[in-house]
A and B are shown apart, each in its own frame.
Chain A
Amino acid sequence: MAILGLPEEEYFSYGHRACAGCGAAIALRLITKAAGRNSILVEPTGCMEVISTPYPETAWKLPWVHGAFENPASIASGICAALKVKGREDVNVVAFGGDGSTYDIGFGHLSGAFERGHNFAYICYDNEAYMNTGIQRSGSTPYGAATTTSPAGKKSIGKEVWKKDLVHVLAYHGSPYVATASIGYPTDAYKKIKKAIETKGPTFVNILATCPTGWRTPTEKSVEIAKLAVETGVFPLYEIVDGRHSINMPKDASRLKPVEDYLKAQGRFRHLFKPERNDKAIKYIEERVKENLHRLTQCAEKCF
């Protein structure tokens, strides 16, 4: 039975130790639903590893392997090779990690696995900082966000550089399918993850997962903010299939919600508005978001 296009069967049990309102836990439910019973999951250290397996308990109802912070892609490569030898290439291999593991620490290994062209899907639940160890800045943290290692103050506006565009980096590895998704749109995210798993070759989905603890947002707003990120154009949803772009959302780049709405909703951007408004930084974010969307639209129109 399917509800809203998602299978009813759960492979990720309740009783896990995620914070209330955890966006990444929603992402995990979607990943396991898309993978299905015939799958092997690989996960590095990170929030979702810690919360799902407090030894001797496990939240997983699927085969699940834990590896060190940097090597989910390497372990997945090994599993793919082993399955090939055993003639069991019908088994889905799905690796997933947080943005710390994907954007920074495991990036070299991920790049290697994509270059070798193993048949696996890599899903990054992107909560935009190292949340498990207490909100440290990562390559994925957005411009202006305050974290414990990029604190906001009189002489700092939080993180001073823009978020890394990992999706395109992996697309240019020659991957047949890369996409971005958001937990605010679960059916869309599910379809993309499923497509990534079904596509032969190394594929990647970056799924935006809100973190109420690190983003300093109320727990009930997790999904609302994940939607807002898309509606304001800060986190556009797009797919790159065999090098061709197509934008799913926002549909109309000229009718977006103001970026300010997204920033104001989160405590990590509070210093941009209080004690006094930092017009320069807000304007810079707005312009960069617009420019990014414009570039994406051009890519989609020119079919590359």
Chain B
Amino acid sequence: MIDFEKIKLKVNDKEVTIGAVLESKGSTEKTKTGAWRSKRPVIDYEKCVGCGICWSLCPEGAIKKRPDGKFEINLDYCKGCGICANECPKKSITMIIEEK
């Protein structure tokens, strides 16, 4: 077996692997896409019933189940599309303007 990832080539002074082979482990998480956001989702945990609809419809997969059964949003990666707020059956998510 040839270990393609061990063989490095130089292209334009950059080291690359043959056939652009990468280890598959989700390394895009190095890039915090949360910086793209102009609106931020805020969950009202009084209203949240933990149905998981927001989790199933998040294009980023940035929503995670908490130990208490409710859900939290990882703001490092949330791009602020607002699908979760629009689809929440209990209207427990509101989008507020991001200010820095």
Which residues on A are within 8 Å of B, measured CB to CB?
1, 3-4, 6, 8, 10, 12-23, 25-26, 29, 52-64, 183, 186-187, 212, 218-224
Contacts and interface: CB of A to CB of B under 8 A. Distances in A.
Contact of B85 (A18, A58, A220): A220
A15 B36 contact: no
Nearest to B36: A20
Given A4-B53, A15-B32, A219-B81, A23 B26 contact: no
B22 A58 contact: yes
Contact of B26 (A29, A56, A60, A212): A60
Per CB-CB distance, the 9 closest pairs between chain A and chain B, nearest first, are: A13-B26, A220-B82, A15-B28, A21-B81, A25-B59, A20-B81, A20-B79, A14-B77, A3-B52
12 contacts: A10-B61, A20-B36, A22-B81, A58-B23, A58-B25, A58-B26, A58-B27, A59-B27, A63-B24, A187-B56, A221-B86, A223-B86
B86 A15 contact: no
Nearest to A184: B57
A84 to B, nearest CB: 19
Interface residues on B, range: 35 or more
Given A6-B56, A14-B62, A26-B57, A54 B28 contact: yes
A61 B55 contact: no
A57 B27 contact: yes
B83 to A, nearest CB: 5
B26 A21 contact: no
Contacts of A18: 59-60
Given A14-B28, A55-B20, A58-B27, A3 B56 contact: yes
Given A13-B61, A15-B33, A220-B82, A59 B55 contact: no
Contact of B28 (A29, A58, A220): A58
